[in-house]
Chains A and B, each alone.
Chain A
Amino acid sequence: MSLMNTVAVSPDSLLQEVAGKYRQRYRFVTMTCTDIGDGYDILYHFDKDYELCNLRLYLKKGEELPSISSIFFAALLVENEIKDLFSIPIRDLVIDYGGRFLLTEDAPVAPMGREGCSRAIDIRLQGAPEEEDK
């Protein structure tokens, strides 16, 4: 089963497509980001009369994602969340928490990434006794 009502967009055409959704009186629902190895599968979900419409964007790792928060203000929270959890650089956020929306300085980097919470595990192991000390 694949997601219905889904249109592929590129980072270049994203803002134009999203502005089109705004003009058509769609409501912003949320975004979904998935780390797929070499890049990210990013879905933008919109709703009108209970019908969902999705924009699907593939973003290469290291590339910058344009923010849609200047069109849909409500997107700023989930964009900041994605920035924290996946370490994706997002430009032109109307309120940019600078990667500290959810995470603190000593938090894992990109905890929702494929590698997961590697840094958190390192931190925990720092205080653990060495194998020979046990």
Chain B
Amino acid sequence: MPGSKSIIPFGPQHPVFPEPLQLRLVLEDEKVVEALPAIGYVHRGIEKLAEKKEYTQNIFLVERICGICSFMHALAYCQGIEMLMDVTVPDRARYLRVIWSELHRLHSHLLWLGLLADSFGFESLFMQSWRSREAVMDIMEATAGGRVIISTCIIGGVRRDISEELMAEVLKTVDVLERDLEIIRPVVFDDYSVKQRLVGTGRITSEQAYDLGSVGPVARACGIARDFRETGYAAYKEIKVTPVTETGGDAYARARVRIREMYQSIDIVRQAVRDIPAGDIAVPARGNPEGEVISRVEQPRGEVIYYIKGDGTKNLERLRVRTPTFANMAPLLTMLPGCELANVPVIVLSIDPCISCTER
């Protein structure tokens, strides 16, 4: 009946969702008037488990919060423990951390682009972006031994070095990626069909994005120049990062931010490879962490926050993780009302949701 409301459970199993998330959508005809998320399908209790494991074992645990940004989870955790234990990481390790972080950002953004393209039926863009992503996975395997969870970050530095020969391979990989991006970019930026689906879809204002605590590309697509790399953790003190911003506040602007960030990541990798100093890659960390600290890192989806509380024993008293998708859930609830049901997958994918992260 026209004008009547109906409630549609969107997910948890849905063709466009790579992970289980349910949105309870209140619809008037085809228009969404209200959305409420329901999560908890894959909650793993990682924060509780972290209290049972030794603080050194937790590195492997936090890497498994999310496969896509696993290195950055380890980095945020290790940085926090290093602050508590007053450990100064060698310069070479700081640069290696940046190289692996940016490789993670690249493969995360390419993964996202494939999923977004799939959400509006652009299968060839999906395949092209995932094909390009393979090159990043291959170089991660070559440099770290693993394609997804690379386990190179340790307290006090990194576990593995990258040889000069492999550094040259890293540069070749980002060259290939840049050439691929030159093909992908005009499609995302200018293609009529893509713009029809993305421009104006899921728009929020800069004020809304700020008030709702959005982070990462969701915030930057609203003109909020905020990127935690600006604060200079790891080697970002030497390798300056300027936040990539757009002003549209819609799915198109979020796509543009991520595409442009891939170019930025390529530049950062090149700079890091060029400027990386010789020297040690780790220093020993002795004792146990005591006190409390907050460590922050800019992941591909936005800022992750680790609260770590140690009591001087090998077990932590508390480990709390606020992941970027959790922060971007409230903005998502504001993007959905007013949209057509057919655009719900596009809007959800436009925030690059990670349910693994959300349900630590």
List residues of chain A with CB under 8 Å of any chain B CB.
1-3, 27-30, 32, 34, 43, 45, 50, 52, 72-74, 76-78, 95, 101-104, 111-112, 116-117
Contacts and interface: CB of A to CB of B under 8 A. Distances in A.
B307 interface: yes
B160 interface: no
B340 interface: no
Interface residues of B, number: 35
B294 A52 contact: yes
Interface in B285-313: 290-294, 305, 307, 309
A32 B36 contact: no
A111 to B, nearest CB: 6
B48 A77 contact: no
B327 to A, nearest CB: 7
Main secondary structure of the interface of A (DSSP, over half): loop
B71 interface: no
B95 interface: no
A73 B214 CA distance: 12
A111 B294 contact: no
B330 A74 contact: yes
B305 A78 contact: no
A27 B224 CA distance: 12
Interface stretch (B1-9, B250-258, B315-323): B315-323
B213 A111 contact: no
A77 B329 contact: yes
A104 B36 CA distance: 17
A74 B330 CA distance: 5
Nearest 10 pairs of A and B residues by beta carbon: A1-B291, A102-B40, A30-B322, A74-B330, A74-B213, A32-B320, A34-B318, A32-B307, A28-B213, A3-B292
Contacts of A43: 307
Contacts of A74: 211-213, 327, 330
29 contacts: A3-B294, A27-B210, A27-B211, A27-B213, A29-B322, A30-B320, A30-B327, A32-B307, A32-B318, A32-B320, A34-B317, A34-B320, A43-B307, A45-B294, A45-B322, A50-B228, A73-B212, A74-B327, A76-B330, A77-B329, A78-B322, A101-B39, A102-B40, A102-B359, A111-B45, A112-B47, A112-B48, A116-B48, A117-B45
